[in-house]
Structure 1
Amino acid sequence: MGADMEIPVDTAIVPVAQDQSEQAQPIGGDVPAHLSHDPQHNMKRTDPFQFGSRLLKEKDNVFEFNAWDHVETDDAYKEYSEVQYAKQREAPVSDFDKNRFNSDPAKWWNQFYKNNTSNFFKDRKWLRQEFPVLAEVTLADYGPCTLLEVGAGAGNTAFPIIANNQNPNLKIHACDFSKIAVKVMRENDAYNTSQIQADVWDAAARELPPGLAEGSVDVVLMIFIFSALSPTQWRQAVSNIYRVLKPGGEVLFRDYGRGDLAQVRFKKGRYMEENFYVRGDGTRVYFFEKDELEEIWSGEGVSAGGDAPAAPRFEIVSLGVDRRLLVNRAKQLKMYRCWMQGRFRKAADTTSSSEVVS
């Protein structure tokens, strides 16, 4: 997607205020663990990884470490971003290509997984840190639990969960609409049908995942999958997730946020519509606003068209913006990442049936 975007190195960094009581304590001296270069104490090198602990303060040298957490984008980056968005809008994807990419998205994901084997992807070890419920359901005495992963890809989320699992009653349904991705999962040495079932499933189709009935799932995992859908598919996907979840079940969600480096550096011929792009490999990606996601999952922002039923309403347990400043110390470059992370719960007492979007 092009070279790293260069941001002026003398641009002021907006520091994040931190309560003194919450600051990390020094380890054997005056250096807090999150700023230590000692691998024995550096919180970034522990397992599970400790995210969100390295906060940039005014006195810090931004180029001392490769990454800083919770750093707001500065004015220079925001201005640069708006210039880039304007250029993207001026050179959108042609109507012909837009139809080509939207009509058969599975085709492009199949090609993606043909070109990238399972070794290409990193296991998502950080998920248990970000979503503690994933550690809870793997405890030996947790009891029966059905977990559905939507957009499971090559299994880089599902298999690490299985590797840490001590719960004999945990079953993972790992679904992806790429048949090649499902094939890769089924050929993995860790694939065991007593613990995991991998199937082809389109989250925006009208059918539920194979082997799952309405109200049968405890936890739904959606990691960088919702952004692969077009805005016209969101409502059906949310409806499907609502239907398959048990009352009180939760969605664990993480995806791209507007202003992320990946969005800003898109060049001409990639813009499909506002915040929605096609990558060079033909796969699509959307960059979300926080308020937008809240409306989608609460049911407030998804309008009913024609005779379509009302959109499902989830309780927004949590929804936040995860910002990270990455730096290239060799080139003295600053790059901003932005992700959305949330937990959405189906009401424990549902009085209305879950309807399929028409």
Structure 2
Amino acid sequence: MAAPCAVSVSDEAHDSETLQNTVELPAHGCKRPQFGTRYLKDPNQVFQHNAWDNVEWTEEQELAARQKVLENSQPLPLEKQEEYDCRANDYWNDFYKIHENRFFKDRHWLFTEFPELAPNCRQQQSPQSESTGKITTVSLASESPSSNVTTSPSAAALSVPNGDFPGSSSTYRILEVGCGVGNTVFPILKTNNDPGLFVYCCDFSNTAVELVKTNAEYDPDRCFAFIHDLSEETASFPIPEGSLDVIVLIFVLSAIHPNKMQASIRKLAELLKPGGVLLLRDYGRYDMAQLRFKKGRCLSDNFYVRGDGTRVFFFTQDELHHMFTEAGLDKVQNLVDRRLQVNRGKQLTMYRVWIQCKYRKP
């Protein structure tokens, strides 16, 4: 498959510390706290939790991060950059052949940050608490009252002039771009019990897509996995324009060459229904992963290649906002998750910077 640029599974996979962010839902169904709710007030308590939210950097930390990036920003020769471009598919396929589905944790935290992924999940009743004996109910269905995304299971199926397509009779459609081995798709299918739900998932890597299809939890009546290179302008989706309620990009846009990002976002925006939303979580500028790159790994400003040949970009809020609005989408959310992650066993602290966005089609 011709593939000038990679759009693949979350680059999150390469940074094992990031996996601490994929918090599992407790067995009783209670949600983890939304990010931005756990603050470190006493530095002596830093090792009491795995992560602390909204950790402000000092001026010295910010200056040191900028200097580190500047020191390692000499770009590789153009011919070497072109090699990584042309062989992007090979590098990602090699990655999945080595790791298969052993490298990842299911991203159950997505339902806390993005309730659109479980719009009709029934209220779940937890077991009685040993300490209080109370029954707690948790609903993953609600967002802000201003949300205009259609979530009713009784909504009429979309009438599409193109005729039948996978999921054409469904009433709520979600697409994940860069699905990897299904660590977002399968939690959605298990958590969202809407009978009208249909989930599409695609990846740049044919190896990754095959791993999804051969998973015992893959249900072709509720899900359709396919190979797709988002950065290829001539590549078409097996889904008509204006047919999706939600599009998910989790550590995926950063894998695309910066010159291809705007066109990629525009293509996705065309797939959304009016009122549909695009959900993104990705690397922020000066994240620990960026500061770890040494000389000889820079491709262009804030764009790097890893040792395994896969690539990653580090965003600012303004850069993402510009791309989404240029594609005709309206901002609902654009936040920086500046987090201090903790390895309590090794007594280590790690500064992470992620950006979380939600943009809606008018």
User: TM-score, with normalisation over the residues of structure 1?
Assistant: 0.77
2:139 is the alignment partner of 1:124: no
Residue 334 (structure 1) aligns with: 349
Cα distance in structure 1, aligned partners of 2:277 and 2:121: 16
Residue 75 (structure 1) aligns with: 59
Cα drift, residue 54 of structure 1: 1.6
Q: Number of paired residues?
A: 295
Cα distance in structure 2, aligned partners of 1:113 and 1:105: 13
Cα drift, residue 75 of structure 1: 3.0
Cα drift, residue 102 of structure 1: 1.6
- Assess if the C-alpha contact under 8 Å between 2:119 and 2:192 holds in 1: no
- Assess if the C-alpha contact under 8 Å between 1:199 and 1:210 holds in 2: no
Residue 250 (structure 1) aligns with: 277
Pairing 1:141-220 to 2, within 5 Å after superposition: 142-143=153-154, 144-207=171-234, 209-220=236-247
Residue 87 (structure 1) aligns with: 71
Where 1:204 maps in the other structure, the secondary structure is coil
Residue 88 (structure 2) aligns with: 105
Cα drift, residue 210 of structure 1: 4.0
Cα drift, residue 47 of structure 1: 4.2
From 322, 339, 342, the equivalent of 2:337 is 322
Bigger Cα Rg: 1
Cα drift, residue 142 of structure 1: 2.6
Structure 1: gaps of 5 or more residues: 5-42, 300-311, 348-358
Cα distance in structure 2, aligned partners of 1:219 and 1:317: 14
Where 2:38 maps in the other structure, the secondary structure is coil
Cα drift, residue 152 of structure 1: 0.7
2:311 is the alignment partner of 1:284: yes
Where 2:90 maps in the other structure, the secondary structure is helix
Residue 320 (structure 2) aligns with: 293
Cα drift, residue 165 of structure 1: 2.5
Structure number with the bigger relative contact order (C-alpha 8 A, sep ≥ 6) is: 2
Identity %: 40
- Assess if the C-alpha contact under 8 Å between 2:66 and 2:286 holds in 1: no
- Assess if the C-alpha contact under 8 Å between 1:221 and 1:251 holds in 2: yes
- Assess if the C-alpha contact under 8 Å between 2:39 and 2:54 holds in 1: yes
1:272-295 Cα shifts (integer Å, max 9, x gaps): 111111111111100000111111
- Assess if the C-alpha contact under 8 Å between 1:137 and 1:145 holds in 2: no
Structure 2: gaps of 5 or more residues: 1-13, 18-25, 123-150, 155-170
User: TM-score, with normalisation over the residues of structure 2?
Assistant: 0.76
Cα distance in structure 2, aligned partners of 1:276 and 1:158: 28
Residue 309 (structure 1) aligns with: none
Cα drift, residue 58 of structure 1: 4.7
- Assess if the C-alpha contact under 8 Å between 2:174 and 2:198 holds in 1: yes
From 28, 32, 42, the equivalent of 1:49 is 32
- Assess if the C-alpha contact under 8 Å between 1:73 and 1:336 holds in 2: no
